[in-house]
């Protein structure tokens, strides 16, 4: 069996990393069947003219990632049980939810030297590390108990007051007792699912949308109906057609700087969605985790509805720190009361220390100053990335006005898996667009994080992908 990968000793990426990303992309392209034997370490080294040491390390990594099985005395074989994302077809079977979480793990598993062009994370060098460290020292001195004790069930009262002030700027009227602090937006969504859904329920989700949400929903055994995301928001014609066939319990929507398309819901679409929610009796969970990237504020669904049919989810983890994990749910008093009970049963309480550090950053003005710098930097990166993509011949789904993501494709390439394979030998990791679809249907689109769009390897990838031969 011939391994179809390319190694480049001159691109600055360690050979071990190139082998791992190349073999991974080759396996995911379905060029070989599960159970197929890989070349021996000695044969691989001879075929590609490299020493055995990077091959040994690469094979070890592939085994730990689950792509390859090591059989003592026999060799290395493509695993029968591939990590999620290796196949194009998904499933609504909740027993597969654990498998489907694999594409979330891909953000962490790629070798450190790989350019993670499809990542969801802000680069460490863009974060305000000095202010975070200063806040940690301040809290350690002034509130040492926070390092060992749980937070209160609702969360730090001062932090909730700050969050109340921030959502008030969006026109959402809520008092601090209507705000529940969570361990990131992921816990917020999980608590809401536990509270509002049961196995067999039908819910509407965006297509494309947030892949970790799909995994959580399938874990709860619910039925997902994908609603196409247009440039203005969910496709209202499809929503209305599906409402004739189904009675959804919930609609999940990411309104501002949508992941992965970067689009924002237009006012007329927001108004109509609320009308349909009232007419058909379903609730809307509004994920606004990217709110702080926005400079010119726009109305949210929760602004128009004032928490009657909408539950609002937000937080600071996408901007401030992924490690501090500050999320929140804003809802009616009755819903928050029940969510607190579920939170206490499932996690007892949040991190008093993380919440105190967030308060320190907010009160001392460090977060505000950091956001101003981050928005400018992201806006500049967004404009230059879009220009680079268009110059290379890519198509942009819609030019975002802010945020982190661009949804793009090469017009003559039908399956984004080809783009994954193209990036691997260049030391570039991209996420195929099928990861962002409810049932992982094939698609030509990929998500690009603009913070990495001007890196030399990214630009090389854009031009190499555009030069791929057209699909037959």
- Which of these ranges, 41-55, 68-82, 103-117, 296-310, has the smallest mean pLDDT? 103-117
Residues 156 and 303 grouped into a single domain: yes
Q: Are residues 307 and 213 in the same domain?
A: yes
| Integer Cα distance of 293 and 451 in angstroms | 13
Q: Are residues 219 and 293 in the same domain?
A: yes
Judged against a pLDDT cut of 50, whether residue 238 lies above it is answered with: yes
User: What's the mean pLDDT when you consider all of the chain?
Assistant: 89
Please state the rounded mean pLDDT for residues 312-341.
95
Q: Mind giving me the DSSP string for 91-117?
A: ---GGGHHHHTHHHHHHHHS-TTSEET
Give the chain's length.
472
Q: What is the pLDDT of residues 58-88, one digit of tens each?
A: 888 888 777 888 887 788 889 876 664 443 3
**Which residue range is the domain that position 174 belongs to?**
129-364
Question: 289 near 403, Cβ under 8 Å?
Answer: no
Distance CA 354, CA 89 (A): 39
Same domain, 83 and 185: no
- The reported pLDDT for the residue numbered 173 is 96
Pick the residue with more confidence: 12 or 223?
223
On whether residue 143 sits in a domain, the answer given is yes
Task: Compute the distance between CA of residue 445 and CA of residue 416 in angstroms, rounded to an integer.
Answer: 6
Has residue 452 been placed in a domain? no
Lowest mean pLDDT among 96-110, 418-432, 440-454: 96-110
pLDDT of residue 114: 84
Least confident span in 95-99, 120-124, 181-185, 233-237: 95-99
Same domain, 28 and 135: no
**Which of residues 364, 389, 408 is at a domain's end?**
364
Q: Is residue 147, in this structure, part of any structural domain at all?
A: yes
Instruction: Tell me how far apart the alpha carbons of residues 18 and 426 are, in angstroms, rounded to a whole number.
Output: 8
Span 390-419, average pLDDT: 96
Residue 254 makes CB contacts below 8 A (sequence gap 6+) with: 206, 209, 210, 287, 288, 289, 290
Query: What integer pLDDT is reported at residue 372 of this predicted model?
Result: 95
User: Above 60 in pLDDT, residue 100?
Assistant: no
The arithmetic mean of pLDDT across residues 186-214, rounded, is 95
In angstroms, rounded to a whole number, what is the distance separating the alpha carbons of residues 218 and 205?
A: 12
How sure is the predictor about 16, in pLDDT bands with cuts at 50, 70 and 90? confident
Question: Do 160 and 70 belong to one domain?
Answer: no
Question: Which of 24-33, 127-136, 160-169, 350-359 is predicted least confidently?
Answer: 24-33
Residues 185 and 79 reside in one and the same domain: no
Closest C-alpha among 86, 122, 47 to residue 292: 122
Same-domain status, 238 and 340: yes
Could you tell me whether strands 75-78 and 68-71 are parallel, antiparallel, or unpaired per DSSP bridges?
A: antiparallel
What's 49-63 look like in SS3?
Answer: CCCHHHHHHHHHHHH
> Would you say 440 and 434 are in contact if contact means Cβ atoms under 8 Å apart?
yes
pLDDT for the residue 161: 96
| Per-residue pLDDT, 87 | 38
Residue 276 Cα distances to 123, 232, 332, 455, angstroms: 40, 17, 20, 44
The answer to whether 403 and 290 have CB atoms below 8 angstroms apart is yes
E-only strand ranges, 135-222: 179-183, 202-207
| Two tokens, residue 368 | 């505000």
Token pair of 245, please? 């066939």
pLDDT above 70 coverage of the chain, percent:
92
Count the neighbouring beta carbons within 10 Å of the beta carbon of residue 148. Answer: 8
Are 388 and 459 in contact by the 8 Å Cβ rule? The answer is yes
- What's the pLDDT at 378? 96
Q: Model confidence at 12, in pLDDT bands (50, 70, 90)?
A: low
Q: Which residue has the higher pLDDT, 67 or 188?
A: 188
- What are the tens digits of pLDDT across the range 202-223? 999 999 999 889 989 988 899 9
CATH number of the domain to which 53 belongs: 1.10.10.10
Residue matched to tokens 């990495």: 452
Among residues 21, 55, 87, the one where a domain terminates is 87
Instruction: Please state, in angstroms and rounded to a whole number, the distance separating the CA atoms of residues 321 and 129.
Output: 9
Helix axes 157-168, 352-363, angle to 10 degrees: 50
Instruction: Band the pLDDT of 272: cuts 50, 70, 90.
Output: very high
Is 421 among the domain residues? no
Looking at the domain assignment, is residue 396 inside a domain?
no
Number of domains composing the chain: 2
Mark whether 152 and 30 lie in a shared domain. no
Q: Are residues 233 and 348 in the same domain?
A: yes
Residues 151, 66 share a domain: no
């Amino acid at each position: 069996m011939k391994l179809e990968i390319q190694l480049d000793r001159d691109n600055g990426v360690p050979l071990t990393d190139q082998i791992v990303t190349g073999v991974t992309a080759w396996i995911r392209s379905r060029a070989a069947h599960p159970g197929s034997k890989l070349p021996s370490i000695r044969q691989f080294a001879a075929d590609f003219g490299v020493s055995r040491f990077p091959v040994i390390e690469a094979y070890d990594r592939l085994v730990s990632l689950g792509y390859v099985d090591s059989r003592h005395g026999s060799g290395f074989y493509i695993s029968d049980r591939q990590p999620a994302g290796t196949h194009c077809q998904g499933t609504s079977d909740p027993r597969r939810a654990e498998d489907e979480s694999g594409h979330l793990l891909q953000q962490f598993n790629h070798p450190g030297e790989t350019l993670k062009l499809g990542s969801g994370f802000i680069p460490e060098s863009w974060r305000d590390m000095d202010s975070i460290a200063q806040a940690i020292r301040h809290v350690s001195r002034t509130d040492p108990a926070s390092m060992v004790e749980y937070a209160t069930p609702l969360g730090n009262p001062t932090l909730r007051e700050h969050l109340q002030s921030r959502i008030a700027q969006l026109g959402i009227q809520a008092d601090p007792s209507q705000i529940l602090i969570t361990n990131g937006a992921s816990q917020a969504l999980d608590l809401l699912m536990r509270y509002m859904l049961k196995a067999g329920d039908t819910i509407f989700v965006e297509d494309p949308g947030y892949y970790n949400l799909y995994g959580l929903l399938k874990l709860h055994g619910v039925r997902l109906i994908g609603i196409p995301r247009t440039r203005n928001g969910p496709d209202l014609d499809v929503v209305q057609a599906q409402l004739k066939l189904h009675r959804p319990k919930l609609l999940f929507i990411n309104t501002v700087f949508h992941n992965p398309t970067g689009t924002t819901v237009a006012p007329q679409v927001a108004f109509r969605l609320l009308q349909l929610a009232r007419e058909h009796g379903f609730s809307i969970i509004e994920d606004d985790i990217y709110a702080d990237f926005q400079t010119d504020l726009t109305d949210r669904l929760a602004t128009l509805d004032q928490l009657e049919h909408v539950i609002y989810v937000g937080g600071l983890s996408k901007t401030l720190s992924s490690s501090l994990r500050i999320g929140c749910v804003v809802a009616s008093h009755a819903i928050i009361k029940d969510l607190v009970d579920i939170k206490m049963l499932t996690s007892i309480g949040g991190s008093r220390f993380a919440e105190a550090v967030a308060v320190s950053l907010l009160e001392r003005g460090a977060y505000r100053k950091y956001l101003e710098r981050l928005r400018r930097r992201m806006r500049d990166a967004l404009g230059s990335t879009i220009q680079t993509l268009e110059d290379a011949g890519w198509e942009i789904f819609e030019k975002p006005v802010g945020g982190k993501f661009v949804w793009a494709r090469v017009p003559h390439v039908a399956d984004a898996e080809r783009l994954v394979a193209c990036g691997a030998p260049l030391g570039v990791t991209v996420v195929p667009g099928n990861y962002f679809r409810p049932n992982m249907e094939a698609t030509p689109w990929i998500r690009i994080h603009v913070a990495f769009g001007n890196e030399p390897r990214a630009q090389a990838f854009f031009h190499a992908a555009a030069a791929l031969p057209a699909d037959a």
